[in-house]
Structure 1
Amino acid sequence: MAERRFWSGRRVLSGRGHWPFCGGACSVVEKSRLSQANLKQTKETGREVMFMAAETWWELAPVLEHHHYWHQKEKFLLDSDRYAHWTMFAVTGGKFEYDILGCRGSAKLAELVLCPPETDFGRRVTEPLSFHFLAFSFIGADGAKVMELPGLDGYKLEVVDTQRLFNTFGHLRSAVMSSGPWARPWADHLLKDLWKQVAYEGLQSAPAGLNQGGPRFPDDPVMDLAGRIIQEEACTPLSLGRLAERLGLTPVQLTRRYKAVFGVSPSEHVLELRMRHACSLLTGTTFSLETIAEACGYETGFYLSRIFTRKMGMSPSAYRKAYRI
C-alpha cells in the first residue's frame, strides 16, 4: 500500500472552532526544523491552527492493530522505544512525561499523546499511570497509508467531551476482551469513532451538557459477585464448575446468566483476563515464558504459547518484541 505524507501551512481560523492541541515544549532547534519542513506560517491574532488540518483529520480512517490497557503502571520498562505503527497513549489516571522529536510535555487524565510511526517515543511515569495503549494505521480517503499529520507539532490532544471519551474506551476495552467474530470489527469502529470525535471537536466546539450513557445490562447481584471472583482469581487454577457450585448454580445457569449481564461467558472472560495479564508481563517485564505461564494460571509455557498464539495471532516472543513498553 502506498504511503502519503502531509505537509502543511498555517492560517488563523476565526469563529467558535476549537482545535484540541496542547503543544509540548519543543526545542529551538526542533522548532526551526519544523518551521522549515512545514509551509509558510502566518500570525494574525496569535491563535494559529494548521491549514485544513481538521478537514484532513476528518477524512482519515484509523485501523486498529493492537490495544492494551495498563493499570497503575509504576514505571516504563523502556525509557524510549519506537513502533512500526501510529501509537496513542490515552491516559485514564496518573501522569507521565513524554519526549517526541524534541517536543516535551506531560499528559494526564483525558489527554491523548500521539506518536508517528518509526519515531522515538521517550516517556517517564511521574504518577502511577493508567492508560490505553493503541497501535494503529491511518488510511487516507485515497486508500494510502498516512505517515505524518498536519497540526501535530505538540503530539498531545485534548478531548472536550471526556464523558464520551471514557464511554468509547470502556466499550473498546470490552470489545478486545471478547473472542467473538464481531469483536475486531467493533473495536475498529470504536477507534474510528474516537478519531471522528477528535476531528469534530477541531471543526467546532462540542455542545455542552452531553450525557452519554453506556449500555444497560440487567441487574444481577449474584453475577456481580461472580464477576468479582473471576476478576480476582482468573490467573489462578480457577474451576468454573466449582465457582458455579459456590454460587448455588449449575454450570449452564452460570454461563447463561453471566453472558446476559457481561456479554461474554465466564470461560471467555477468564481467557481474556489471562491473556491481558500475559500481555502485561510480556511487555512490562523480562520474565521467562514459564514464569509468565505460572503467573497466568497455566501449567507450562508451551501450553500458554499455544493458547496465546491462537488468541493473539502471534507468538509470545513476537508479541514481546513488537509491543514492549
Structure 2
Amino acid sequence: MMTFRSSVLSPTLLHHVFWNHKEKFQYSVDTYEHWVLFAVEGGSFRYGIGNSEGIAQMGDVIICPPGIDFHREVIHAASFHFIGFSLDSLSGGLGNEGQEDEHNVRLRLAASAYKPAVTHKERLADNLRYFKGQDEAAAQIDQRIYWQNHALNDIWLFCLQSIAAGSVNEDMQPADPLMEQAQLYIRHNAFEDMSMLVLADELGISPVQLTRRFTRSAGMTPSRYLSHIRLEQAKSLLVDTELNLEEIALACGFNNGFYLSRVFTKMMKISPSAYRKTNRV
C-alpha cells in the first residue's frame, strides 16, 4: 500500500462560498489554480476530474487538485460548500518532501475518483457549520477564520485517513439497484405521509434489510435520508417564502410546526426562525 506522511501537509483556507439550491453551474468545465473542495449538503451533480467520473450527493466530499479540468453538471438542485485552499508543508512552502507527499495525495485521490469515502458524516456536518457564519464585527473575523481553518484541517485529515487506508467510495462499490429504487421512491414521496414499512414491503424485503442495505449504499439510514430531503425543502421555504412554520411543516411532510422546529433545531443546531433571519438577504 502506498503511504504518505499526512502530517507534513496542511491546508490553508483561501475562500469559501455556500451555494444553496444551485440549479446550474456557471461553467460546465473549470480549472483552478489552487486546491478546491466541494462538500455537498443537498441535491446532486455529476462530475468528471481527469479520467474519473462520478456523482456527488449529500454527505459527499469532492477534492480537485490544481491544474485539472473539473467537469460538472447539476442533477438535482445542489446545495454545497465551495472551499478553495492552498496546501503547504508545516515547515512552510512545499519542499522536495512536501512535493512528494502532494504527489502521493494526488495519486490516492485519483484512485478514489477524487471522492474520499466519508465515514464521519456527523463530524463533517459539525465542521461545515463553521463556514455558515454571517457578517460579523471586524474584531470577530479573525476568530471566525481561525475556526474555519481548524474545521478545514479536520476535514482534510479524515479525507487523508480514508484514502491512506484505501477506503473505497460508493462509486467503486457494486451498485445496489434496489436501493437506488428506494432513494428514488423516497425523493418522490418525501413530502407526503410515507412509511418505511410500506417502502420495505414495496421492495419485497424486510425493514431490517432495508435499513442495512440502504445505509451501506447511501451512507445513512433511509429515515435520515428522508429527514435530510425534508429539511432541505424547509430551509428553502424559510428563505424564499413568507409561509409560517405550520404551513412549511405541512408542505414538507412534517406533522406540525412544533415537530418541524424540534427536528430542525436538533439537526441544524439552529432554530427555524433564526435560520430564516440569518439567511435572508
TM-score, reference length from structure 1: 0.45
Q: CA deviation at 1:143?
A: 2.1
Aligned partner of 2:42 among 68, 93, 99: 93
Output the CA distance in 2 between the equivalents of 1:187 and 1:155: 22
AA aligned opposite 2:109: L
CA contact (8 A) 2:47 2:55 kept: yes
Matched, 1:194 2:164: no
Q: List per-residue Cα deviations over 1:136-191 (Å, max 9, x = no partner).
A: 001124422456424121211121010111111012323x6544131111211111
Q: List per-residue Cα deviations over 1:79-129 (Å, max 9, x = no partner).
A: 011122101111111111111123211111111111111221110011111
Distance 1:141 1:117, change over 3 A: same
Aligned partner of 2:15 among 55, 66, 69: 66
Which residue does the alignment assign to 2:79? Answer: 130
Matched, 1:151 2:112: no
Unaligned stretches of 5+ in structure 2? 168-237, 242-268
Matches within 5 A, 1:101-180: 101-145=50-94, 148=103, 149=105, 150-153=107-110, 154-174=113-133, 177-179=135-137, 180=140
SS of 2:109's partner is coil
Matches within 5 A, 1:236-315: none
Output the CA distance in 2 between the equivalents of 1:94 and 1:129: 4
CA contact (8 A) 1:58 1:199 kept: no
Q: CA deviation at 1:197?
A: 2.3
Unaligned stretches of 5+ in structure 1? 1-10, 12-50, 207-229, 234-260, 275-295, 297-325
Output the CA distance in 2 between the equivalents of 1:169 and 1:101: 27
Which residue does the alignment assign to 1:221? Answer: none
Distance 1:93 1:231, change over 3 A: closer
Output the CA distance in 1 between the equivalents of 2:126 and 2:135: 16
CA contact (8 A) 1:79 1:124 kept: yes
Distance 1:151 1:101, change over 3 A: same
Output the CA distance in 2 between the equivalents of 1:177 and 1:164: 25
CA contact (8 A) 2:22 2:78 kept: yes
CA contact (8 A) 1:111 1:159 kept: yes
AA aligned opposite 1:184: I
CA contact (8 A) 2:46 2:75 kept: yes
Output the CA distance in 1 between the equivalents of 2:125 and 2:76: 20
CA contact (8 A) 1:63 1:137 kept: yes
Larger radius of gyration: 1
AA aligned opposite 1:160: T
CA contact (8 A) 2:3 2:164 kept: no
Distance 1:126 1:189, change over 3 A: same
Output the CA distance in 1 between the equivalents of 2:62 and 2:147: 23
Output the CA distance in 1 between the equivalents of 2:13 and 2:60: 19
Distance 1:76 1:205, change over 3 A: closer
Q: CA deviation at 1:232?
A: 6.6
Which structure 1 residue ranges, 4+ long, deviate > 3 Å from structure 2? 145-148, 176-179, 200-206, 230-233
Which residue does the alignment assign to 1:254? Answer: none
Q: CA deviation at 1:204?
A: 6.5
CA contact (8 A) 2:116 2:163 kept: no
SS of 1:151's partner is helix
Output the CA distance in 2 between the equivalents of 1:186 and 1:57: 20
Percentage of identical aligned residues: 30
CA contact (8 A) 2:44 2:55 kept: yes
Output the CA distance in 2 between the equivalents of 1:140 and 1:91: 27
Which residue does the alignment assign to 2:172? Answer: none
Which residue does the alignment assign to 1:37? Answer: none
Output the CA distance in 1 between the equivalents of 2:15 and 2:61: 16
SS of 1:52's partner is coil
SS of 1:163's partner is helix
